[in-house]
Amino acid sequence: MRSKIIAACVAAAFPLIASAGPSDYVYVPNVTYGEREIDFKMGSWRQSENAGAASIGYGYGMTQRWFTEFYRKYENSSSEGTHFDAWEWENKLQLTEIGEYPVDVGVILELEKPANLQEGYEVRLGPLFQTEFGKVQLNANVIFEQHYRSDTTQRSELSYQWQAKYRWQPKLEFGMQGFGDAGSINHWDAVTPAGHRMGPAIFGKFNLGNHRAINYNAAWLIGTTGNAPSQNFRAQVEYEF
C-alpha cells in the first residue's frame, strides 16, 4: 500500500520514463563524514514519446572518505504508466583531500537490482574528477556500465558527464551540464539510444542552521545528436542533516 501511495505522488508531480537517463545527475567526489541526507531526483525528456524517471534515497557519510546511499527508483511511459523500477545502492569514495592537489579525485560504484530480473543486475563504476579556478568549478566523470544475469546479451557501455559552474553566491550558482553515451567499450558510437545532451544549469544551497541545509541543482538539456532526446529537464533536491 505504501509503495502505491509513493508511486501515485511521483506520477502526479511529473511524467516519468522507461530509462534512468532523464534523471541522471553529475557526481562530485566530496564526502562529508557523519552527514545524512534525503535525496530526491527527477527528470523527463522528449523522444519518440514523452517519458521520465524519479528516485528517492537516504544516504550517510560512513567515514571521511566513504558515502553510501540507497535509492528506490520509479519509471513511467505512455505504454506502461508509472511503476517501481529498481533498488539502487550507491557508494562514493573520496580518494584525495579536497584542494590538496590541482585535481580532486573520487570513485563511484552503483549496484542496481531491477524489479524485472530479466533486465539483469546493473553495475556502474567510474572515476570522478574536480578542479577549481577562482570561482569556477569544473567536474568530469567517466562511467562504465555492465549488466549481469540478463536474458539478453549485454555489452559493457561507456558514458560520460560533466559540469562547469560559477560560484556567484551560495544560494544561486549557474553554469552548464552535459551527459552522453559513447556506446560499447569496444565499439564507440557517436549516436546511441541516449545520445549526447547539454545545456544551462543552476545550483544552490540554503543553510538552515544546526548542520541542516537544502541543496538543489537543475538543468535544461538539449540533444546534440540525431538520436538524443530533443529536450531533457532534470532536477535534484537534497535535504542534509
pLDDT tens digit sequence for 42-65: 999 877 677 899 999 999 999 999
Q: Distance between CA 40 and CA 108 in Å, rounded?
A: 18
Which amino acid, residue 177? Q
- Minimum mean pLDDT range among 15-19, 53-57, 121-125, 149-153: 15-19
For 43, 72, 81, 95, 162, the CA distances from 179, given in Å and listed in that order, are: 13, 22, 26, 23, 7
pLDDT band at 155 (very low <50, low <70, confident <90, very high): low
Q: How confident is the prediction for the chain on average, in pLDDT?
A: 86
Residue extents of the structural domains in the chain: 2-240
Nearest to 56 by CA among 94, 92, 18, 13: 13
CATH 1.10.10.10, applies to 2-240: no
Q: How many residues does the chain have?
A: 241
Q: Distance between CA 58 and CA 122 in Å, rounded?
A: 20
